[in-house]
Amino acid sequence: MSIQTIMVIGAGQMGSGIAQVAASADRKVLWHDLSMPLIDKGMLVISNQLDRNVAKGRLTEEAKVSILSRIQPTGDMEEAAQVDLVIEAISENMAWKTALFQKLDGICPPQVIMATNTSSLPITEIAAATTRPSQVIGMHFMNPVPVMPLIEIIRGLETSQNVFDAIFQLSKELGKTPVEVQDFPGFVSNRILMPMINEAIFTVYEGVATVEAVDTVMKLGMNHPMGPLELADFIGLDTCLSIMEILNEGFKDSKYRPCPLLRKYVKAGRLGRKSGQGFYTYST
């Protein structure tokens, strides 16, 4: 199964990174979002990142122009009818994702693979919203996508072996390292990472240590490149809370209970880097 044309849906941080990586691997990319200004902003982000690679000698100017030429912004989801693969990268909301997959199911020919970049939601439930669950699979890219080498590949209950093999091979061709993961809440990455972040927030909430002290302990004591609270700000505190709620609901285990301080910050609009303030303050 040859995958040459990919539609990426979602113009956020993840969608932007996926579009860039796919185009860099010589794939034609149709990039869709309901908001074309967001796509325009994303194209500028990609162009700036490629410019930095050119300045560092990692990329030629000709290669940069070629990569950008392979990304075609589109406001028309009906163009999904002409692709080999759709990768959904919208917000982590089950109702929105299932509605999108239902719509795609009516647009895409039967052979088209539909992948979700969900970081924690069940693939089987998303696939059940379609009439082709065998063609649905999880491709959980890591953030930032152009830099991080891992993709978690998650089968739904009905995902076919042919689809799994095609996506596993494509991931390698995108320059990534694919790892097969089973369809459990949070998969592997977020099932381990988010409770650690949540526990770091609890240590601040309970007065065990300051934000800076917690991050310093984990960076200098555990050799983490980024402290857990700094990482939470980078991911987005709203995203962290959403994933913790999914883990808590999925496992019915109190160890996944979101910290009250995390809830408070999200309610206050302190979402991290994207809002200018989280556990740290950022210039916007």
Catalytic residues, by residue number, are 119, 140, 152, 190
Find, among 57, 231, 267, 77, the residue nearest to 148 by Cα: 231
Q: How far is residue 94 from each of residues 131, 216, 221, 247, measured CA to CA in Å?
A: 17, 36, 38, 14
Q: How far is residue 103 from each of residues 17, 77, 81, 131, 260, measured CA to CA in Å?
A: 24, 9, 11, 11, 37
Find where tokens 């692709």 sit: 83
Q: Where do the H-state alpha helices sit in 113-227?
A: 123-127, 161-173, 189-205, 211-216, 222
Angle subtended at Cα 221 by Cα 218 and Cα 223, rounded to the nearest 5 degrees? 75
Tokens of 239: 């995203």
